Chain A
Amino acid sequence: MTRVQFGIETFGDIPLGDDGALMTHAAAIRQVVDEAALADDIGIDAVALGEHHRHDFAISSPEMVLSAIASRTSRVSLGSAVTVLSSDDPVRVFQRFATLDAVSSGRAEVILGRGSFTESFPLFGFDMADYEVLFEEKIEIFSRLLTEKPVSWEGTTRPALHEADVYPKTESGSLTTWVGVGGSPQSVIRAARYGFRLMLAIIGGQPERFAPYVDLYRRASEQLGTTAHPVGMHSHGFIAATDEEAREAYYPGYKAMMDRIGGERGWPPMARSSYDAEITSGSLYVGSPDTVARKIAASISGLDVGRFDLVYTGGGAMPASQRMRAVELYGTEVIPRVRELLADGAPS
């Protein structure tokens, strides 16, 4: 069994500063750079940053922040989670990530996806009604660019490419590419068709529900003759010294965020009982290092995934010091404990 990788992810949620006030967007971005530097120091394998275009998240240009992180780190891989390809230009996406790959000496990863927000569509002049064709055409272009050879392409969503050679070239000749999927079977099959890695966003309900999607990815890869890479999963969570401390610290900001975003989509306010149920049997990894480690180990075994990313900032407006501490506990206590648990349960 290949060594399981562990990552942290954030959308650049705005934490509270030492004075108890919300940080500025700029300070929130520097906070993420600091957290990523700590992650690198303590042996976390990956950092991935989401792209959002709204006031409650500071990161709209993940590659810019990742580039800053690259200069302060030496081992952690640097990814987007996700790059909203439909409202971007695949040529530019390739150029930006190939550049990030250069400055980080080969540590760039792009995770393409739909994302769960759509502000980028009106912002950049795209129509949600065209979503499918935008994604289909652009992922096709991107896959051709990944060959790092001149590309010709014609379609409806961007100007044609005629033997277009795109730079910089990467040193390895292969930019690591994932597709982030929230549960759409067709997206799983699409990832398999292109031979891309699959990152499952599991943000509610029992993680085991996603086991058939892992199976679907593998069987589709087999049928299509592509490589089935180890599957990744990402879920929200938070770690503090004790279960109670973690639950209470995370709840207010998490509830505020869920109610704000859920309300925009027509969901009623979140009840405390749903929060507790998600921690006990769902997809929230909130608790002491031991509790979170056991839950992560169970999900990794249950789903047979090769990478687990913890979205550690879903508590929204929480003190930056608590966030930093959660990253530290994740790297120094949770991950080693998960590795022990997995080794204990591994077939000899």
Chain B
Amino acid sequence: MTAMGTATVGILGAGKLGTVLARLAVDAGYRVLVASSAEPSRISLTLEVLAPGAEATTADAVARESDIVILALPLGRYRNLPPASLGGSVVVDAMNYWWEVDGVRDDLASPSSSTSELVASHLADARVVKAFNHMGYHDLDEGPRPSGMSGRRAIAIAGDDDAAVEATQRLVDSLGFDPVMIGGLSAGRRLEPGMPAFGANVGASELVALVDQATADASPAR
């Protein structure tokens, strides 16, 4: 980690969200490593075209070499993530329970905790933060603006580990969005599908208002 922020951003998932985040991170000057569930060679052309400059590699290499790792795979596959490799890493959970992809899963729709807490309990030693989940991938793609520019959009962040939250805050800012801290990892519930802030592509003050609209005991749509 340098004064300029995180040097290497790792992304697990090379789908719509993963490739958009990879492109934004390359544009922001990071070294970017991407892995999917397939062999690295299967995603190298995708990255060459959709996120030129990002490197295809394995999930283990992403975990080992990155200062910060973003999870951009379908939430339904979170148990495939390697807890041992990600131990100690700052892990940004950008995933959502999306039953149209994951199928109807009672374990993911559980109202007793946020889905990021499920991920955190699987990745026992990782420092999990929730961010980048509430904005649609095409809004992310179209939305980055330099710091201080009017009309800059905001990304909400929830996490328990102060240093990990700070690292995520710097990442969000350097990718072109205003970071908005909303509380601990359990507060990530307020960003999930079914909540007012889900889908939000708005500035910081409007995002805060949408997050506040969600009451602590409200449950997601499904």
Contacts and interface: CB of A to CB of B under 8 A. Distances in A.
B146 interface: no
Which has the most chain B C-beta neighbours within 10 Å: A185, A186, A223? A185
Contacts of B136: 204-205
Contacts of B46: 185-186, 189, 216
Contact of A189 (B45, B99, B100): B45
B4 interface: no
Interface stretch (A30-38, A55-63, A113-121, A171-179): A113-121
Interface stretch (A13-21, A43-51, A264-272): A264-272
A212 interface: yes
A212 B138 contact: no
A148 B161 CA distance: 60
B49 A216 contact: yes
Contacts of B198: 266-268
20 contacts: A118-B99, A129-B102, A183-B137, A185-B43, A205-B141, A205-B142, A209-B141, A212-B49, A215-B49, A216-B45, A219-B48, A220-B45, A265-B100, A265-B193, A265-B221, A266-B96, A266-B194, A266-B220, A266-B222, A267-B198
Interface in B50-100: 50, 76, 96, 98-100
Contacts of A184: 15-16
Contact of B100 (A116, A213, A220): A116
Contacts, number: 83
A206 interface: yes
Given A186-B46, A205-B142, 17 more contacts: A116-B100, A128-B104, A129-B103, A131-B101, A183-B16, A185-B16, A186-B36, A189-B45, A204-B138, A205-B139, A212-B50, A213-B50, A216-B50, A265-B98, A265-B193, A266-B220, A267-B193
Contacts of B45: 189, 216, 219-220, 223
A185 B141 contact: no
Given A128-B101, A204-B138, A186 B49 contact: no
A131 B14 CA distance: 17
B18 to A, nearest CB: 9
B192 A266 contact: yes
B196 interface: yes
A129 B49 contact: no
Interface of A: 116-118, 121, 127-129, 131, 183-186, 189, 204-206, 209, 212-213, 215-216, 219-220, 223, 263-268
Interface in B157-215: 192-196, 198-199
Nearest to B96: A266
Contacts of B19: 185
Interface residues on B, range: 35 or more
B138 A268 contact: no
Given A265-B98, A266-B220, A127 B16 contact: no
A219 B49 contact: yes
A264 B15 CA distance: 23
Nearest to B46: A185
Contacts of B98: 265
A184 B194 CA distance: 24
A265 B102 CA distance: 12
Interface string B141-162: 1100000000000000000000
- Secondary structure of the A side of the interface? helix
A266 B194 CA distance: 4
B102 to A, nearest CB: 7
A223 B195 CA distance: 44
Contacts of A209: 138, 141-142
A184 B73 CA distance: 12
A294 B194 CA distance: 37
Contacts of B49: 212, 215-216, 219
Given A184-B15, A216-B45, A128 B199 contact: no
Contacts of A205: 136, 138-139, 141-142
A43 B102 CA distance: 42
Given A216-B45, A266-B221, A129 B16 contact: no
Contacts of B15: 184-186
A31 to B, nearest CB: 28
Nearest to A263: B221
A265 B138 CA distance: 17
A266 B139 contact: no
A268 B213 CA distance: 12
Contacts of B104: 128
Nearest to B48: A219
A128 B141 contact: no
Contacts of A216: 45-46, 49-50
B102 A264 contact: no
Nearest to B221: A266
B196 to A, nearest CB: 6
A117 B100 contact: yes
